[in-house]
Amino acid sequence: MQEYRCIKYDGVVYYGKHLIITARGCNDNILDKKVISGWITKLVKLIDMVAFGDPVVERFGKGVQTGISGVQLIETSAITMHTNDQAGDMYLDVFSCKTFSEEAVVDFLKKTFGPTTTNYQVLLR
């Protein structure tokens, strides 16, 4: 039973695409819950997904572990992110059984958060 698998790459059918991004040394936008919430909402539209509810974005932790976590359920899976206030780092995951442009996500992240370095990988699952 493979009919639920929707992404085809090099003749192989996969269930989903998982984009994993590490962005280091981001600007002060990474400290603002409203900016992050709005960014997630715009990201959903940018990659042509359908949000399920509103994003949940909260700051918590203690000391050097303090940061913001955000979760946006989408009809085809989820977007999750975590930040570190002190370092200005962001760790973003976008997983969907509907294909999307990883380049668009990376470019949008760079445009909004201005990281000094960005590394990413794509897993097909």
Cα 96 to the chain's mean position, in Å?
Answer: 11
- Global pTM reads 0.94
For the segment 12-36, the average pLDDT, to the nearest whole number, is 96
pLDDT tens string 51-60: 999 999 999 9
Q: Report the SS3 class of residue 113.
A: helix
The CATH code of the domain at 9-124 is 3.60.90.10
Please determine, for residue 123, whether its predicted confidence score (pLDDT) is greater than 80: yes
CA gap 22, 42 in Å, rounded = 19
Of 65, 68, 47, 64, give the one whose Cα is nearest residue 56: 68
For the segment 10-18, the average pLDDT, to the nearest whole number, is 91
Amino acid at 116: T
pLDDT tens string 59-83: 999 999 999 999 999 999 999 999 9
